[in-house]
Structure 1
Amino acid sequence: MSLIDAILPLASNPTAGSAEVATVNADGTVDILINGAAVPAACIEAYADRAVGDVVFVIPVRGGYVVQGRFTTS
């Protein structure tokens, strides 16, 4: 197993999808839950009002993830 696969589960074949925000960081990034592991993710500016528990749409980018926005609850 490569180091990146140990750090980011399924990193060799990441796919876009949903994730839950585990932590909102002071620098504007978030940690998201991917297969039970907290993984750092960048956010686009439009995803403001970030909150723990948000269910968000993420896309893989260069071995990491970018949060595109929050799913609505209605």
Structure 2
Amino acid sequence: MAELIDQIMPRASNPTAGSAVVAAVNDDGTVSITVAGSAVTATCMEYYTDRAVGDVVFVIPVRGGYVVQGRFG
């Protein structure tokens, strides 16, 4: 089953650090990001306060998901 998941969502199921694009800002403080064409919900660091759709952000993998470190300048 893992092989099928890797074919459908290779970056989401095997996360690596890198960039992503914010697709939505959620009411609970998370953002939806696009990683290799897949939508993934990510937690944000407290200091990334001015979240906006279209932001190009740096993300790191944590426990099978992503944490947004902040927006690229």
Name the TM-score, length of structure 2 as normaliser. 0.85
Paired residue secondary structure (2:39)? strand
CA distance in 1 between counterparts of 2:44 and 2:70 reads 8
Q: Which whole-Å deviations, capped at 9, do the CAs of 1:36-58 have from their partners, x for residues lacking one?
A: 11100000000011000000000
- Unaligned runs of 5+ residues in structure 2 are none
Greater helix percent: which structure?
2
TM-superposed deviation, 1:4: 6.1
Percent identity, please.
Answer: 72
8 Å CA contact 1:32, 1:40 repeated in 2: yes
Distance 2:38 2:69 in 1: 19
User: 1:46 matched to which residue of 2?
Assistant: 47
